[in-house]
Each structure stands twice: as structure tokens, then as C-alpha cells.
């Protein structure tokens, strides 16, 4: 059974989320205080986190940042409907997705299932598959990335996105195509997630992220890794 931690200070919302998730077969812990939530989130007991941003004690952004530094488990942030700044910041801190208040509990459950399935699929890779394009070398069995022989530490969705581009080297992929392939057709987020992740990847693998030579932007079309 997968265990989900919900850090949500509104008891009614937390109880509703718990009921829907438990009905779907998940183990659920709901914590209202952010400081206690951070301790629980770092305990290693949970397979996925759902974090509200505004919390008493420690806020959700801080929890996200601390967890992402220690683990690559899926993190879903709960944001205000019109707060694009919060969404961009959450993705920049390593969140995998976000939901906007007010949201359907059924949609939240669907997103959680999609992220857990992708995470399990990624971690369950057993075949020894080396993908090499230009200076990029990805070992899918070891889940490692090297650029020009130097190891690069990528977060979960960054790794998946780079791997998909590398496996389709030379092919231009639109933002929507990449979102569907990497996040899944059953995800309910925003394709704006893609350029945020591309920017983070470039900061880690490009000599000059402002003038990338590995992941190219094809104006009006999307992104590609040039086959070499």
C-alpha cells in the first residue's frame, strides 16, 4: 500500500482528501502544522506528498525545498487559482505538479495515481540501457546522467524529460507533446511546466545556459536535442 502525506491546515479539506484517497486504497496521514509536516515528510515513510503552501509553522515551499534536497519522491503543491508566481516557484523548487484551489478530490486522486505509476516505472527499470547523444550519457539502470564525463544531479522529472528528448534526438517536440509524454496524458497540470523544467536542466548541463547547445529551442515549434 502506498502512503501519502497531506500537509493541509484546513481540517475540512484535509479530511475530504483523506477520505477519497483511502477509498482508493492509499494509506493517508494528514498534518495541519507545517513544522511537524516537514519532520514527517523527511521521515522516509511516505511515497508522495501533497503540500499546501500557506501553513502555520513551516510553509509548503520550505517543506518542498527540504524534501527535494533529500529525496525524489513525487510532490504535488496546492496553490491559489490565480497565483502563477506560486506555481512557478513551486516547480522551481522541485515540485512535480500542482493543483489549484478549489479542486476536485477525484482529480487529485487521478494525479496522485499518475505520478506514483510513473515514479514506480522509472525506479523499476531493470534493463541496462545507455543513451548517448553528443556529450550527454544517460544510464537508465543506474539512473545517472553525465555530461562530458561529469556527473549531473537531476531531479525526477528533469531526468525523465532529458531522457525522452535524448531517446528522440533530432526530433522537435512541442511543449504540449513533451508534457503529455513525460507527465502523462492523464495528468491535469499545465504544459507551462515544460519550459520551467527545460530551464532547470539547462542550468545543470549547459556551459552557457543562456546560449544552449545541447537542448535547442526551435522557435515556434518546441525543443530538441540535436542528433550528433
User: Among the three residues 73, 104, 123, which one is the final residue of a domain in this structure?
Assistant: 123
Which of the pair, 187 or 129, is modelled with greater confidence?
129
C-alpha pair distances (Å), 63 with each of 93, 162, 222: 10, 26, 32
* CATH code of 33's domain: 3.40.50.2300
Reported as a single tens digit per residue, the pLDDT across 72-121 is 899 999 887 667 888 888 888 889 888 888 888 888 888 898 888 888 77
105 and 166 in a common domain: no
Residue range 10-21: average pLDDT? 92
Domain boundaries, position 196: 130-225
Q: In whole angstroms, give the CA distance from residue 50 to residue 97.
A: 10
140 and 115 in a common domain: no
Closest CA to 24 of 121, 124, 111, 100: 111
Q: Are 21 and 13 in contact (CB under 8 A)?
A: no
- The pLDDT of residue 199: 95
Q: Are 202 and 216 in contact (CB under 8 A)?
A: no
Reported as a single tens digit per residue, the pLDDT across 120-153 is 777 664 445 788 888 999 988 788 999 989 999 9
- The pLDDT of residue 224: 92
User: Among the three residues 92, 108, 123, which one is the final residue of a domain in this structure?
Assistant: 123
Percent of the chain with pLDDT over 70: 93
- The pLDDT of residue 46: 93
- The pLDDT of residue 63: 96
For residue 190, name the pLDDT band (cuts at 50, 70, 90).
low
Reported as a single tens digit per residue, the pLDDT across 157-170 is 899 999 989 988 88
66 has a pLDDT exceeding 80: yes
Which of the pair, 65 or 80, is modelled with greater confidence?
65
144 and 94 in a common domain: no
Residue range 11-16: average pLDDT? 92
35 and 147 in a common domain: no
Residue range 202-226: average pLDDT? 92
- The pLDDT of residue 125: 46
Q: In whole angstroms, give the CA distance from residue 111 to residue 39.
A: 24
97 and 185 in a common domain: no
Please state the domain count of the chain: 2
Which of the pair, 228 or 221, is modelled with greater confidence?
221
Percent of the chain with pLDDT over 90: 50
Tell the residue number behind the cell numbers 499546501, with chain if given: 52
User: Among the three residues 62, 88, 123, which one is the final residue of a domain in this structure?
Assistant: 123
115 and 136 in a common domain: no
- The pLDDT of residue 80: 75
Residue range 13-35: average pLDDT? 92
160 and 77 in a common domain: no
3-state secondary structure of 189: coil
Q: Are strands 215-218 and 222-225 parallel, antiparallel or unpaired?
A: antiparallel
* CATH code of 179's domain: 1.10.10.10
207 has a pLDDT exceeding 80: yes
CA torsion through residues 153, 156, 157, 161, sign = positive
Closest CA to 65 of 95, 100, 22: 95
Exposure string of 99-114, with b = 16+ CB inside 10 Å and e = fewer, is bbeebebeebbbbbbb
Q: What is the mean pLDDT of the chain?
A: 87
103 and 16 in a common domain: yes
Query: Can the peptide bond before residue 205 be classed as cis, meaning omega within 30 degrees of 0?
Result: no
- The pLDDT of residue 163: 92
- The pLDDT of residue 100: 85
Amino acid at each position: 500500500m502506498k502512503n501519502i502525506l497531506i500537509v493541509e491546515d484546513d481540517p475540512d479539506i484535509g479530511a475530504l482528501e483523506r477520505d477519497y484517497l483511502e477509498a482508493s486504497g492509499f494509506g493517508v496521514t494528514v498534518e495541519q502544522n507545517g513544522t511537524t509536516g516537514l519532520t514527517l515528510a523527511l521521515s522516509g515513510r511516505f511515497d508522495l506528498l501533497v503540500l499546501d503552501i500557506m501553513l502555520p509553522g513551516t510553509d509548503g515551499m520550505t517543506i518542498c525545498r527540504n524534501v527535494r534536497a533529500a529525496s525524489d519522491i513525487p510532490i504535488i503543491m496546492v496553490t491559489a487559482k490565480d497565483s502563477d508566481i506560486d506555481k512557478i516557484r513551486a516547480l522551481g523548487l522541485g515540485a512535480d505538479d500542482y493543483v489549484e484551489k478549489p479542486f476536485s478530490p477525484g482529480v487529485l486522486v487521478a494525479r496522485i495515481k499518475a505520478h506514483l505509476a510513473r515514479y514506480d516505472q522509472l525506479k523499476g527499470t531493470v534493463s541496462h540501457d545507455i543513451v548517448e547523444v553528443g556529450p550527454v550519457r544517460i544510464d537508465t539502470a543506474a539512473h545517472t546522467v553525465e555530461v562530458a564525463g561529469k556527473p549531473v544531479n537531476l531531479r525526477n522529472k528533469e531526468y525523465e524529460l532529458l531522457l525522452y528528448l535524448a531517446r528522440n534526438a533530432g526530433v522537435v517536440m512541442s511543449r504540449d507533446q513533451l508534457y503529455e509524454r513525460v507527465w502523462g496524458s492523464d495528468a491535469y497540470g499545465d504544459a507551462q511546466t515544460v519550459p520551467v523544467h527545460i530551464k532547470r536542466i539547462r542550468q545543470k548541463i549547459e556551459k552557457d545556459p543562456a546560449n544552449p547547445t545541447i537542448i535547442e529551442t526551435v522557435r515556434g515549434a518546441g525543443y530538441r536535442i540535436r542528433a550528433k
